[in-house]
Amino acid sequence: MANYQEQSIKIYNSLTGQKETFKPLNEGHVGMYVCGPTVYSNVHLGNVRTFMSFDVVFRYLKHLGFKVRYVRNITDAGHLENDADEGEDRIAKKARLESIEPMEVVQRYTVDFHNILNSFNFLPPSIEPTATGHIIEQIEIIKAIIDNGYAYEVNGSVYFDVHKFNEDKAYGVLSKRKLEDLIHNTRQLDGQSDKKNPQDFALWKRAEPQHIMRWPSPWSDGFPGWHLECTAMSTKYLGEKFDIHGGGMDLKFPHHECEIAQAEACNGHDPVNYWMHANMLIMNGKKMAKSTGNFILPNEIFSGDNPHISKAYNPSVARFFMLQAHYRSILDFTDAGLQASEKGFYRLMEAVNSLKDLKAGSSSTLNINEWRQKCYDAMNDDFNTPILIAQLFEGVKLVNQIKDGTASLTSNDLKVLENTLHIFCFDILGLTNAASAEGSGDKLSEAVNLLIELRQEARMNKDFGLSDKIRDRLAEAGIQLQDGKDGTVFTTN
């Protein structure tokens, strides 16, 4: 069996801008942290794409035999709508609008989040910690940062001193920004601020009297700043230094930059070896935004109930569609793209389902182990799922050629083919075999199979008027008959 000692993975590290050979801190173990959602509304499809990318990373690392601790947080604490000391806590705002408790908002959308991810066949992370469950840890980090001289308190709030930090270390290494540029380009905001400088960010905010989500601290009754939870939880569960930190491209600045600063200010060194950023999902060439109507909820893909798509799509089809693009590329979500993927997906599944019927030959016309390694090579090269899928279609071609008798594999090689297709389709890409779900024995199948029999009899009698009538009327009812070598099967839409 393949394992991490046989395969060498290269990861594109956002910190260095290069692909680097992946070497975990502790051999055989991987610590991975991915910034999770803020649960104040239905999970964004782009968010799903990001998590899907890391779901595949998680699956692949596990497949290689690494012991992976995958931490993905749930942000359920109040974050302000912006970083300028003003705006409303998004969860509190939603709670006010719907006249429910903030924690009801959190609960509702956490459940929604999990439901959607389950539909897409995500593996649950090893730990899914919540921000509100780690207030104490966050306060401890603030204390340490203050002690180290990189934070200051004003009116019960605590701010990170970016300028001071930049004197000793480098702020902006991840997003390749210079503090001077930031200073020149920071918009002058009107609201009066307690910050020394606009680039500073909150570690702790004093709560206004009407603010419901609040916790006691040495500085005030308040709530933690919006970058701190990730530092607290990643440190707690993965240590001061861990292997992989992931998230959406848009979190690079300021969120991840602030995480690096916080961790360095607290622990004296940078926290992460490999930073990975998943690119954006757009729809019909434009940014997805509720305000412009260029928007779709994950659920609406499954139901087809959205003006931007022509029909409902199986979650595995949507998953397959997303994985046909590399995680570092912008992906355009379109109905035409989904339809193309749908056909390809079912062709792939068809081939996988027919594996069990293949007959072994006395020799092999293809070096199966070479092909198998190409699948690994694709994943080893910065988790290149599109290349992997291209290789899987080479496998499809081979399956069909064996069926046609134009290629053959020995019994052992056939097992390698079957095993490899199963591993990469299901274990690593996380697809589910929707095609094999059609059960026999239910009432619809019984009825349609009877009609297929009758049609077959009509054809034998050359009564094509009747046989075509059966076929056409069934088609009108949404049931397609497909004549094959081994008889007729049907599909429904």
Closer to RNA at the Cβ: 217 or 467?
467
Closer to RNA at the Cβ: 93 or 143?
93
CB 381 → RNA: shortest distance, Å? Answer: 7
- Residue 408 in the binding site for RNA (CB under 7 A): no
Q: Which of residues 197-216 bind RNA (CB under 7 A)?
A: 198
Residue from 165, 471, 474, 479 in contact with RNA (CB under 7 A): 471
CB 81 → RNA: shortest distance, Å? Answer: 5
Closer to RNA at the Cβ: 56 or 251?
251
- Residue 334 in the binding site for RNA (CB under 7 A): yes
Q: Kindly state the tokens that stand for 317.
A: 């089809």
- Residue 228 in the binding site for RNA (CB under 7 A): no
Residue from 373, 400, 410, 432 in contact with RNA (CB under 7 A): 400
For residues 42 and 297, the answer to whether their CB atoms sit within 8 Å is yes
- Residue 181 in the binding site for RNA (CB under 7 A): yes
- Residue 254 in the binding site for RNA (CB under 7 A): yes
Q: Which of residues 344-363 bind RNA (CB under 7 A)?
A: 344, 346-347, 350-351
Range in contact with RNA (rule: CB under 7 A) among 46-54, 127-135, 309-317, 427-435 = 46-54
- Residue 265 in the binding site for RNA (CB under 7 A): no
Residue from 370, 404, 476, 486 in contact with RNA (CB under 7 A): 404
- Residue 176 in the binding site for RNA (CB under 7 A): yes
Residue from 138, 157, 273, 341 in contact with RNA (CB under 7 A): 341
Q: Which of residues 366-385 bind RNA (CB under 7 A)?
A: 381-382, 384
Q: Which of residues 60-99 bind RNA (CB under 7 A)?
A: 79-84, 87, 90
Task: Identify the residue whose tokens are 């050629």.
Answer: 401
CB 353 → RNA: shortest distance, Å? Answer: 11
CB 1 → RNA: shortest distance, Å? Answer: 26
CB 176 → RNA: shortest distance, Å? Answer: 5
For residues 471 and 455, the answer to whether their CB atoms sit within 8 Å is yes
CB 255 → RNA: shortest distance, Å? Answer: 6
Q: Kindly state the tokens that stand for 229.
A: 């939870």
- Residue 6 in the binding site for RNA (CB under 7 A): no
CB 329 → RNA: shortest distance, Å? Answer: 3
Closer to RNA at the Cβ: 262 or 341?
341
Residue from 155, 440, 485, 493 in contact with RNA (CB under 7 A): 485
Q: Which of residues 101-160 bind RNA (CB under 7 A)?
A: none
For residues 415 to 454, the per-residue mask of contacts with RNA, x marking binding by CB under 7 A and - elsewhere, is ----------------------------------------
Ramachandran bin of 382, using left for φ above 0, alpha for ψ from -120 to 50, beta for the remaining angles: left
Q: Which of residues 12-31 bind RNA (CB under 7 A)?
A: 17
For residues 303 to 332, the per-residue mask of contacts with RNA, x marking binding by CB under 7 A and - elsewhere, is ---------------------xxx--xxxx
- Residue 340 in the binding site for RNA (CB under 7 A): yes
Ramachandran bin of 440, using left for φ above 0, alpha for ψ from -120 to 50, beta for the remaining angles: beta
Closer to RNA at the Cβ: 439 or 484?
484
Residue from 4, 302, 393, 426 in contact with RNA (CB under 7 A): 393
- Residue 232 in the binding site for RNA (CB under 7 A): no
- Residue 249 in the binding site for RNA (CB under 7 A): yes
CB 27 → RNA: shortest distance, Å? Answer: 27
Q: Kindly state the tokens that stand for 463.
A: 């009564």
3-state secondary structure the chain: CCCCCCCCCEEEECCCCEEEECCCCECCEEEEEECCCECCCCCCHHHHHHHHHHHHHHHHHHHCCCEEEEEECEECCCCCCCCCCCCCCHHHHHHHHHCCCHHHHHHHHHHHHHHHHHHCCCCCCCECCECHHHHHHHHHHHHHHHHCCCEEEECCEEEECHHHHHHHCCCCCCCCCCHHHHHHHCCCCCCCCCCCCCCCEEEEEECCCCCCCCECCCCCCEEECCCHHHHHHHHHHHCCCEEEEEEEHHHHHHHHHHHHHHHHHHHCCCCEEEEEEECCEEECCEECEHHHCECCCHHHHHHCCCCCCCCCCCHHHHHHHHHCCCCCCCEEECHHHHHHHHHHHHHHHHHHHHHHHCCCCCCCCCCHHHHHHHHHHHHHECCCHHHHHHHHHHHHHHHHHHHHCCCCCCHHHHHHHHHHHHHHHHHHCCCCCHHHHCCCCCHHHHHHHHHHHHHHHHHHCCCHHHHHHHHHHHHHCCEEEEEECCEEEEEEC
Q: 475 burial class (0-12, 13-18, 19+ CB within 10 angstroms)? A: exposed
Residue from 52, 77, 182, 207 in contact with RNA (CB under 7 A): 182
